[in-house]
Amino acid sequence: MYTSTTASRRSWGGVFCVLFFATTLTITAQSWSVSSGGSNLTDVPSEKELMVVKQIIHSEMLGVDWKPLRRYENSYDHHAHMWSQQVSAWADGDWELVGRQLYSWDVWGELYSMTTQAWNGSMWQNVERIHCSFDIDSGDRTQTRFEWKGGDWALSDRKVYRYNDEGSVASMREYRWCEDGWRACVLTVMFYDNDGHYSGYERTELVDNFLCARSTAEVAPCGKIGEEIHYTRERGGEWVRDRRDRWTRNDCGLLTDLYVDEWQDGEWRPWKWDSYISAPFTLSAPAATPVSVVTMDAFPNPASGDVQVQIHCTSPVNAAVECVDILGRRLAILPARQLEVGTTTLPMQLQSLPRGLVLLRLIANGRVMNLRQLILR
């Protein structure tokens, strides 16, 4: 029978991915730069070594033994941002490639998109894509998920994160795409202690404002979550234990293991285990090397015809601009070209586009910058 407990576990499957990704970001967020506002910093070493997650082994308890099921291998770019994650499944005593995730980052170092693909033995096939956007007015960050259907991306669901004054996630609202537009379905509110450390959440189904899940978290001495117990309930029922997450870290504070126990017959039983393997990662950036700063603007905005795109750079750069809709489909493009120092103005023909919001995407130096453009008719 499909109970709310089962639903909670299935819906929180995505939280496992969020926890993994957030942990990875925590480790790799020690990004290193030799410039500030376009000016080079002095007395900066030419190399810096970080520790990043290179591999994760996911196992589950089957019978009395742990059985490996998935292996995740991470690759990073020269900014220490993850650009791909290769997924293999354990079969017949060996690992077999089954999928991958490809990441892209915007010019500010924030996640821009993540595309999931499956390997069918001869070629990669699209599965889903997550597109991230930021609302400068509200401060909300939105992750919109698309599914690959019939040779095109189709809207599926989205999560909107709201932050508190300390920059931590205060709430997450989940939406489902329906024929009549976005429909809010779940609200998760995060809680923090007096020191600003995460202490748990409450999850509410918005259909009838039903509080269906919650958790309590204990903070380890290093300020990270040491243990979190999740509770769930059915409508009209009492709170029951669902699962327990336990984290272990090494002397440097880096995550080494995540254990998930399931509450069964009045006791905690091992269920899942993720083993994290970190490795050194060297950032190289000689202090004498100038770092190019590239920005983009467009006018008029809103526009009812062609748009003038202005690109400003502090050193020669190879740049391209494309116009895409909210599904990421390309509508127009200015091919890559070499730009000299200063401001370059390029006309972009958008007069044939329908009314609505599009994105102008600047691609330069392997980074991505997005600008919202409103088309009027």
206 Ramachandran zone, left/alpha/beta (phi>0; psi -120 to 50) = alpha
Q: Which residues contact 2 (CB under 8 A, 6 or more apart)?
A: none
With a cut of 50, which residues of the chain have pLDDT below it?
1-45, 286-290
Structure tokens given for 339? 């730009």
- What is the model's pTM? 0.68
pLDDT for 8 equals 37
Q: What residue type is 228 in one-letter code? A: E
What angle (nearest 5°) sits at the alpha carbon of residue 255, between those of residues 249 and 256?
Answer: 75
Structure tokens given for 114? 């993540």
Q: Which residues contact 218 (CB under 8 A, 6 or more apart)?
A: 225, 226, 227, 228
Q: How far apart are CA 157 and CA 214, in angstroms?
A: 22
pLDDT for 34 equals 37
8 A C-beta contact, residue 51 and residue 76: no
Using DSSP's 3-state secondary structure scheme, residue 53 falls into strand
DSSP assignment string, 252-264: TS-EEEEEEEEEE
- Mind listing the domains of the chain with CATH numbers? 4-195+243-284 (2.40.128.720), 294-375 (2.60.40.2550)
DSSP assignment string, 164-209: -TTSSEEEEEEEEEETTEEEEEEEEEEEE-TTS-EEEEEEEETTTT
| Closest listed residue to residue 150, CA positions, set 13, 331, 327, 355 | 327
pLDDT for 77 equals 81
Q: What residue type is 187 in one-letter code? A: L
Q: How far apart are CA 79 and CA 285, in angstroms?
A: 10
Angle between helices 13-28 and 4-11 (to 10 degrees): 30
